Amino acid sequence: MSGTTALELAAAGRAAPRERAAALRRLARRRTALFGAVVVALTVAVALAAPWVAPFDPYAQDLAHRLRPPGWRDPAGGLHVLGTDRAGLYARQDRLDARQARELGRALCQRCAGVPIQHLTGEQAFRRLTLEVRPGVFIPRPETEILVEVALAAVRDVEAPVVVDVGTGTGAIALAIKDERPDATVLATDVAPEAVELARANAARLGLEVDVREGDLLGPLPEELRGWVDLVVSNPPYVPPEEYEDLPPEVKADPPEALLGGTEVYERLAAEAERWLRDGGALAVEIHAEAGETVAGILRRAFMDVRVRQDLAGRDRVVLGWRP
Ligand SMILES: C[S@@+](CC[C@H](N)C(=O)[O-])C[C@H]1O[C@@H](n2cnc3c(N)ncnc32)[C@H](O)[C@@H]1O
């Protein structure tokens, strides 16, 4: 209340009833005018700010960011639900409609329950490819791209190399190699029929010629390749049983047969690879961060120039050796 109004009221309190009523009417008129001015000012402010405020949909952005897979490079995997990408989200003009809100909410519930984002989107980027993923088949990890890098370097100077990916899962390693070395003959094996089916589907969808075979390690290879293989590459199951229980639910969503393993698989792989590789051929394997020296020791029994390569986090990740 202004000072003038207070004085008028005080005066009106001592004045005759007619004058007091007139003072109260004046006061009501001033209040109405003031309220109207505030409403008009707010409306103008909102109208002026709208072009900058409207594109941001904080609800959609917040949910999409919560759907981000932990430690993954693309921070907005949940945007698949909205049928957009990260840039599209920030440029959005429209708010969520009821269906989108329901779908995003459902996806958020699944994420909170530990369903990997890749099982919601049905895909995973790997090097230059986008692979289809399905429950029941190991989801390719970004650190495995280092193994592909090492594998490609190992056959850099080999014309039309023959490459075998053992335990191919979605086909990630085999397909990335074929994509980046179209002159290579690439074969892949997996013991799991679901993986073989998915790797073949990925190969067909991407138009990459990879011969995917079902069976144990190098067993399914055609006999005529014996002694002709330039490179054996593998990301075998290597999580020790004592670590399995403490893995996050996203990781446990992968089939246990694709995760659980020890050094025994490297012993078998090295022994088999030695029989299929040509002289001077290479074996490259992904390893558990704590297993560098153990696996290097296994390869040194039959391979030379055995090296351990670190990933971007500085952890031992790949062991490479050469057949004499
Ligand atoms: C850690 S996953 C790797 C999948 C894929 N190479 C990748 O990096 O995304 C291990 C894969 O090896 C397969 N596997 C396990 N034991 C095998 C064996 N003895 N012979 C062939 N494949 C095997 C599993 O089915 C699984 O698909």
- Note the pLDDT of residue 53: 41
Compute the distance from residue 80 Cα to the ligand 1 centre, in Å: 27
Q: What number does the ligand 1 atom closest to the CA of 217 have?
A: 20
Helix axis angle, 98-112 relative to 58-66, nearest 10°?
30
**Sign of the alpha-carbon torsion through 35, 37, 41, 44:** positive
pLDDT at 177: 98
68 alpha carbon to ligand 1 midpoint, in Å?
A: 26
185 lines ligand 1 (CB under 6 A): no
**pLDDT at residue 308, rounded to an integer:** 98
Per-domain boundaries in the chain = 3-113, 123-322
Coil vs helix vs strand at 33? helix
pLDDT at 110: 79
CATH number for 123-322: choose from 1.10.357.10, 3.40.50.150, 1.20.1250.20, 3.10.180.10.
3.40.50.150
Average pLDDT for runs of 10 along the chain of length 324: 46 59 71 62 49 49 56 50 71 75 78 85 96 97 97 98 98 98 98 98 98 98 98 98 93 96 97 98 98 98 97 96 98
Q: Looking at residue 97, what is its pLDDT?
A: 78
User: What pLDDT score was predicted for residue 87?
Assistant: 73
pLDDT at 4: 44
Identify the CA nearest to 272 among candidates 192, 217, 191, 233.
217
For 167, the 3-state DSSP assignment is coil
Whose CA is closest to 155, among 78, 231, 81? 231
